[in-house]
Structure 1
């Protein structure tokens, strides 16, 4: 039995815009640490909040802003650029003070009449996302004005049914989140070993090795470009959610700590195009523009064709020079991001070409030490990708059930 639906404007849910006035923070008013998180587009994803990079404003700036401050149990929805991403400000979020930027809205429910986790679950469903896609405006910069958003119909079953449906979905979310934490621990273990051996130079047998100008005997200092085949730029296409064509990897997909393959869209591409832009295991893609310029990801073993978008640059390690695990960990590091940001052009919109992206230098150890490092790290990376595959399967299962639950077709 289907649940009745009402326009958002008729539900006990307030839609709150961010402050767009004269006190809106300028670039020089953002800080790496501070009183209040000021959300950016990278913080609100298809999978909820991500805080890999966070910008803050101070308490004085926070008090000068009128609208857009979050309260616990608020839901955030992106309404400009990448529209339809959502996140839930529940008790698990480690920041007390947070504000939305001008490309988002807050959905604040009357908790006596509507269950906020149910609203969040619905916003993540294809039922809602398809409705949003049909009413969005703007070609170059997609937008979802509030006047249009409030016309979207939302299911409104009895609140007890809302709670049951949300708790069922949260059981999947809990498993996904547990795997995500395990993935982070595995990544951190690999990073720490890399730092110990190749940054602090405490590699096995270092006591017997001469070091000259920071380079151990038998090692070389090379640029990323010198370690790779010729870099190549990605493919220009429109992403779509229908499983037609290859997967289409974009900047937004590589910014989180791990790629959520279930959320990577597809694109139309013929056989020749797919072959030209197809990624393979060990390839590394880097964002060349925007606030996340310099973000990189090494590709695992891929079970289906994946091509990369035009704002990404691909580097394929020359395995006769450097192991792809070593280069991948280096290019995913903060050290590499700092190098790219420090050399990128453009103030409002940072950008870096392949020459800049390939200019960072790293220590390349002896072949024997590279093999030893791989034998230590490869099991960690393999376990990480197995957990990512589990999360892909869990996400697909959850997303298949979600529209059935949200429409009332499936009852718990």
Structure 2
């Protein structure tokens, strides 16, 4: 099998994105994904959901920057050398991202994604710097980065297929996780929004509060030992292996490790984490020492509120007011229903097994990612043949 060295620019068309001005809200809507670095998750092939979307008006204005499906998008401004995604539908990107649209007569799109993922660390070496001090790789420098590819496209497809098999399993598990979480959330809404909990037909309701007798409403802040933002560690401080796990605010799993005992506090277990940047809430049931930058850690006073009830209550809060939601005050002031202990116990027994399955699937996904990332360089440097 013959391989050749090429530049990224040889693969096909390279497009740098842009951001429509927020002063023109008509450019934003629900029609086309607008992928930014903050939307991408490390280790995940696609970006299924984005914070913002283009409108049809923006589509017409920026149509020359439209990115087709199966294009590889690489972050080149800011936190470079870490984030990469493959488009699964027609999308737009912002100016911190370069998209590689492969010539599919010569290059298999899945192979291109994994080949670029394999040289992602090289992107940092092409940093041209910027007046603001942020890491910045120009489009021209990005296009000159070298990689090796098989001449035979069928070989490319075989390699892409082997690596895709791992990501296919990961994505199927993510769909299962979403269904399990939706099921748990629907049970929560049925019990504590619609008040159709176990034996509700035989429960007396207080006329003034509208709640079952023995229940109350409080604000989250009163039910917490503490809520704090843990941001001592930046992404550049993470290690692939180490003594102490760091939680990822995006998916509730391990983002990396640290051996720096100076940042280590008590091992947190269990806990609910809320990501400042991602606006996502995750329940964590394994020990960790620190949250990724921008992670809020929430410690309930009443352990009976965990494992399922407190997480699902917070997950039911509308976090669309992002600017305000970044502040602790927002979360502390949100109301939370406090059921009686018997109802709480019955609910946790019903809902927690669903969340427990999601945790098992997250663990399995982590193992799949590790196996894929071990195999990737070996296929690309031909240590293993296909």
TM-score by length of structure 1 reads 0.83
Kindly report which structure 2 residues correspond to 1:267-286, keeping only aligned pairs within 5 A, or say none: 267-270=258-261, 273-276=263-266, 278-281=267-270, 283-286=271-274
How far apart are residue 101 of structure 1 and its match?
Answer: 1.4
CA distance in 1, matches of 2:335, 2:108: 52
Q: 2:120 aligns with which of 99, 105, 129?
A: 129
How far apart are residue 74 of structure 1 and its match?
Answer: 1.8
Range 181-190 or range 239-248, more displaced: 239-248
CA distance in 2, matches of 1:53, 1:133: 25
CA distance 1:244–1:134, change in 2 (3 Å): farther
For residue 107 of structure 1, give the secondary structure of its aligned residue in structure 2: strand
CA distance in 2, matches of 1:30, 1:216: 47
For residue 113 of structure 1, give the secondary structure of its aligned residue in structure 2: coil
CA distance in 2, matches of 1:241, 1:379: 32
Residue pair 1:179, 1:391 contacting (<8 A) in 2 also? yes
1:49-76: per-residue Cα shift (whole Å, max 9, x none)?
3334442222222211253201233222
Q: 1:295 aligns with which of 273, 280, 303?
A: 280
CA distance in 2, matches of 1:32, 1:362: 32
CA distance 1:193–1:397, change in 2 (3 Å): same
CA distance in 2, matches of 1:328, 1:142: 37
How far apart are residue 229 of structure 1 and its match?
Answer: 0.5
CA distance in 2, matches of 1:355, 1:60: 37
CA distance in 2, matches of 1:17, 1:53: 18
Report the equivalent of 2:162: 168
CA distance in 1, matches of 2:138, 2:156: 27
Report the equivalent of 1:232: 228
Q: Does the alignment pair 1:38 with 2:34?
A: yes
Kindly report which structure 2 residues correspond to 1:5-404, keeping only aligned pairs within 5 A, or say none: 5-9=5-9, 11-19=10-18, 24=21, 26=23, 28-29=25-26, 31=28, 33=30, 35-46=31-42, 47-65=44-62, 67-83=64-80, 84-89=82-87, 93=88, 95=89, 97-125=90-118, 128-136=119-127, 137=129, 141-158=134-151, 159-207=153-201, 208-211=203-206, 212-238=208-234, 239-249=237-247, 253-255=248-250, 258-259=251-252, 261=254, 264-270=255-261, 273-276=263-266, 278-281=267-270, 283-288=271-276, 290=277, 292=278, 294-302=279-287, 305-320=288-303, 322-333=305-316, 335-338=317-320, 341=322, 343-344=324-325, 351-352=326-327, 354-404=328-378
CA distance in 2, matches of 1:374, 1:269: 36
Structure 2 spans left out of the alignment, 5+ residues: none
Range 62-71 or range 398-407, more displaced: 62-71
CA distance 1:72–1:321, change in 2 (3 Å): closer
Residue pair 2:252, 2:273 contacting (<8 A) in 1 also? no
State the number of aligned residues: 377
How far apart are residue 40 of structure 1 and its match?
Answer: 2.8
CA distance 1:19–1:355, change in 2 (3 Å): closer
Residue pair 2:12, 2:101 contacting (<8 A) in 1 also? yes
- The alignment yields a C-alpha RMSD, in angstroms, of 2.5
For residue 315 of structure 1, give the secondary structure of its aligned residue in structure 2: strand
CA distance in 1, matches of 2:160, 2:36: 27
How far apart are residue 273 of structure 1 and its match?
Answer: 2.9
CA distance 1:246–1:32, change in 2 (3 Å): farther
Residue pair 2:253, 2:362 contacting (<8 A) in 1 also? yes
Point out the structure with the larger strand share. 2
CA distance 1:325–1:247, change in 2 (3 Å): same
CA distance 1:370–1:140, change in 2 (3 Å): farther
CA distance 1:296–1:72, change in 2 (3 Å): closer
Residue pair 2:242, 2:257 contacting (<8 A) in 1 also? yes
Residue pair 1:323, 1:370 contacting (<8 A) in 2 also? no
How far apart are residue 187 of structure 1 and its match?
Answer: 0.7
Extract structure 1 runs of 4+ deviating beyond 6 A: none
